[in-house]
Structure 1
Amino acid sequence: MNFRGICPSCNKEVVFRSRDSWLRDNFYCTNCYSIPRERALMLVIEKYYPNWKELKIHESSPETKGTSLKLKTYCSAYTASQYYNDAEPGKSINGFINQNLENQTFDDNCFDLVITQDVMEHVVNPEKAFAEIARTLKPGGAHIFTVPLVNKFQPTERWAVLDENSNIKFLKTPEYHGNPIDPKGSPVTMHWGFDIVDHIKSASGMDTEIIYMDDLHYGIRAEFIEVLVSRKLQ
């Protein structure tokens, strides 16, 4: 599949290309190599926060390309974090601040935007993570993120927990996704449905909008393409 259009992640006229029917991970921009969820995320950021370059942004587990690279390049107050569970919280490691989303060292009300891309299906205690994200957001700020809503209209399912020795214990068939800092990959802990908005509200008090896009002009076509915007009250 080839389609010519405008890439929101690099702002270039490009060819979007895929040799695989699973477009979510394979329909890439031939210039910046972004994939559909990255481009959808960038369009939402541009629409709701067109002044994002002047905002304080925290991105957890960023990519090295596409939308993450655009945010890092053009936002002067951009903070990137990764989670190294054997390192000191808050320490700078390889250009990243070591942060556990469930127990962050950032101050209250310090970010305008928090960005995550396909992270929240890997968090062991997402309720704590959503609460911590809300704590670190300024009033009126937002968590803008992608997460595969694989259960759709069915209830969310917890896929894995920690055992008494703090090791991952799968409740269902073991499932891993790629992790840029761990060759073993990241265990999937949640299979989210559209009821994620209720989980977020209960955990953090934030209201969440689910945005669906299908627009080949911007290279956006794939399964589980939703972008979520959770807003902290003013």
Structure 2
Amino acid sequence: MIVSNELCYICGKISDFSIVDNATLLREAICKYCNASFRNSDTARIVMKTSIGKELPLSQGIDFLIESKITILEAQASGPIPNLLKHLPTYTCFEYWDELESGDNKNGVMNNNFEQLSFEDNSFDIVISQDVLEHIENPNNALAEINRVLKLNGTHVFTIPLHEASKTKSRKNARPVFHGDPLKEGGILVHTDWGTDILDIINIFGMRTHHINLHTFYDSTEITEVDNSYNDYLASPSLHYYRYNSIVFHSKKIKNCDLPKK
């Protein structure tokens, strides 16, 4: 099923973005040339706009990133963005295995915990995370750490599944929900359903944050609320159950965070 024909901000080609028939998670439709999803492409688009002030495809901006020595940290070691940037000397990526310490390596990939990063203060111009914050047990710790490792005026570019008709809530006492994870059989637990107050929450941590809705597929009232349809969640493949828009957040460090970790 073709969702759209447009520019891919990963490979730079005009492409059909397609997904399996009758799917609802349309932000995961992929480019026929490089397999980047709308979410990947939209993230790259904002990364390049943040880096060079232009919405240039990532594949066409590699030389600029090298010349400008922009330091980038990404909370993902595989996928369309890491595949293009991993050879850059100023790019660092990691995954998270809870049995390892931050800074350890597994199969040549650095391990890090967003709640306790192994990097020095003021190390990076850009931090990238795609659908990570909802899986962190203590997100306030991660937000403080992101602020710490960013340089002043540095930016966290990120995505989350945004619940556009409700406020943020912890899933600590709710029925368990898991999202797919290539590193973990059975998926990864969702700790937070991020909602309409996310900007206010993040800005407490020394940031100035706004969101860019780049692909709108659903009205806010159509966005998935798992607790209202939990049996459907259990019975349905994720691509045929979830409904989220492709929204990218741009969160700029304007001061050091002085909040203690919990």
- SS of residue in 2 equivalent to 1:226: strand
1:176 & 1:205 partners in 2: Cα distance? 30
What are the equivalent positions in structure 2 for 1:124-143 lying under 5 Å apart?
124-143=137-156
2:254 & 2:190 partners in 1: Cα distance? 30
The correspondence for 1:70, drawn from 68, 84, 90, is 84
Matched-pair contact (CA < 8 Å) for 2:8–2:15: yes
Q: 5+ unaligned residues in a row in structure 2: which ranges?
A: 53-63, 218-242, 256-262
Name the one with the larger helix percent: 2
Report the Cα offset of residue 19 of structure 1. Answer: 2.6
Identity %: 33
Matched-pair contact (CA < 8 Å) for 2:27–2:215: no
What are the equivalent positions in structure 2 for 1:6-21 lying under 5 Å apart?
6-20=7-21, 21=23
Aligned position for 2:249: 228
Asked if 1:118 corresponds to 2:152, the answer is no
RMSD of aligned Cα (Å) = 2.0
The correspondence for 1:88, drawn from 91, 101, 123, is 101
- SS of residue in 2 equivalent to 1:212: strand
Report the Cα offset of residue 130 of structure 1. Answer: 0.4
Aligned position for 1:49: 51
Report the Cα offset of residue 127 of structure 1. Answer: 0.5
When normalised by structure 1's length, the TM-score is 0.84
Once the two structures are overlaid, the 10-residue window that deviates more, 46-55 or 76-85, is: 46-55
Matched-pair contact (CA < 8 Å) for 1:109–1:135: yes
The correspondence for 1:155, drawn from 148, 155, 167, is 167
1:147 & 1:26 partners in 2: Cα distance? 13
Matched-pair contact (CA < 8 Å) for 2:27–2:244: no
1:158 & 1:143 partners in 2: Cα distance? 22
Report the Cα offset of residue 83 of structure 1. Answer: 1.3
Q: Which amino acid aligns with 1:134?
A: N
Report the Cα offset of residue 212 of structure 1. Answer: 0.7
Aligned position for 2:196: 194
Number of equivalent positions: 215
Once the two structures are overlaid, the 10-residue window that deviates more, 121-130 or 25-34, is: 25-34
- Structure-2 change in CA distance of 1:49 and 1:25 (3 Å): same
Residues 34-56 of structure 1: per-residue CA shift (max 9 Å, x gap): 11111111111111212544311
Residues 130-186 of structure 1: per-residue CA shift (max 9 Å, x gap): 000100001110110000112x142111012xxxxxxxxxx1121001112111211
2:196 & 2:46 partners in 1: Cα distance? 18
Aligned position for 2:74: 59
- Structure-2 change in CA distance of 1:138 and 1:26 (3 Å): closer
Matched-pair contact (CA < 8 Å) for 1:10–1:70: no
Report the Cα offset of residue 25 of structure 1. Answer: 5.3
Matched-pair contact (CA < 8 Å) for 1:23–1:36: no
